[in-house]
C-alpha cells in the first residue's frame, strides 16, 4: 500500500488532490486535509492578518496569493508574510514542497494612468532564501534543494509523528522606481505545492 498526497495551498483556499480523488476544504484559518490517517494543515498570514478565502489578497480566479514585494508598509508586504505547515500521518512518509512564484512589475504613468505590466526573473540564489526567490526561509528551516524547484525535508516523518514546519518567514523588499513620470509596484503571485508520499516508495514515485 502507498499514499501520494499533492496539496496546492492557495492562500489557504484551494484544491487538494489525492491519487485519483478530488478534495476541497475551506477554513477561515487554515486548510485541513484528512485522508485516512493522514492530516495536512497550513496557515498563512501577513503579520496578524490571517489569509482566508475572503481576503482581498487572494485571487480566486487564478488561485494565487498576491504579495506586495516593493512596499514594506503595505498590508500584504512580503516582509510580513508567514507560512507554517503542520503534518501528521499513520505511515512513515517523505515530504517535499515547491514554491511557484511569479514576480510582476506594474508601472503606472502618472499623467495618463496607463499601466505597463511585465514579469521579472529572479536570477540568483541567496543564503537564507528559497531557491531563486525573494522569500525567506522559515525559522529552523531544514529543507534541502533538489531539481525542478522542489525542496525536500531530509528526515523520514515517522508514523503518528506530528511535525510543525515554518516554511516562509518574511522576504526581501524589491523597490520599484518612482519619478515625475511613473511609479512602479512589484507584486509576487504565489502558489505552494506540498507532496507527501509513503517513505518506502519515494524513489519510485518521485524518480530520485
**176-194: pLDDT as tens digits:** 999 999 999 999 999 888 8
Q: Give residue 85's domain range.
A: 4-206
Give the mean model confidence (pLDDT) for residues 121-128.
89
pTM of the complete model: 0.79
User: How would DSSP label each residue in 156-168?
Assistant: -B-TTEEEEEEEE
Question: Which pLDDT score, from 0 to 100, does residue 17 have?
Answer: 31
Number of domains in the chain: 1
* Residue located via cell numbers 531539481: 147
> Does residue 159 carry a pLDDT above 70?
yes
Strand boundaries in 47-149, DSSP class E = 49-50, 58-59, 64-68, 81-89, 93-109, 115-120, 135-137, 144-145
> Does residue 124 carry a pLDDT above 90?
no
Amino acid at each position: 500500500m502507498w499514499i501520494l498526497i499533492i496539496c496546492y495551498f492557495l492562500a489557504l483556499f484551494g484544491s487538494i488532490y489525492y491519487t485519483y480523488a478530488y478534495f476541497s476544504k475551506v477554513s477561515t484559518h487554515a486548510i485541513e486535509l484528512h485522508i485516512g490517517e493522514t492530516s495536512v494543515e497550513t496557515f498563512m498570514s501577513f503579520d496578524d492578518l490571517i489569509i482566508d478565502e475572503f481576503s482581498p489578497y487572494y485571487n480566486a480566479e487564478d488561485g494565487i496569493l498576491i504579495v506586495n514585494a516593493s512596499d514594506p508598509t503595505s498590508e500584504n508586504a512580503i516582509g510580513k508574510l508567514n507560512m507554517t505547515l503542520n503534518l501528521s500521518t499513520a505511515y512513515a512518509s517523505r515530504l517535499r514542497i515547491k514554491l511557484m512564484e511569479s514576480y510582476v512589475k506594474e508601472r503606472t504613468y502618472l499623467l495618463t494612468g496607463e499601466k505597463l505590466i511585465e514579469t521579472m526573473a529572479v536570477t540568483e540564489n541567496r543564503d537564507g532564501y528559497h531557491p531563486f526567490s525573494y522569500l525567506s526561509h522559515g525559522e529552523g528551516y531544514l529543507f534541502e534543494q533538489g531539481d525542478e524547484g522542489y525542496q525536500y525535508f531530509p528526515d523520514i516523518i515517522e508514523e503518528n509523528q506530528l511535525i510543525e514546519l515554518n516554511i516562509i518567514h518574511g522576504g526581501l523588499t524589491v523597490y520599484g522606481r518612482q519619478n515625475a513620470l511613473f511609479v512602479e509596484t512589484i507584486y509576487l503571485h504565489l502558489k505552494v505545492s506540498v507532496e507527501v508520499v509513503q517513505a518506502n516508495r519515494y524513489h519510485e514515485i518521485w524518480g530520485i
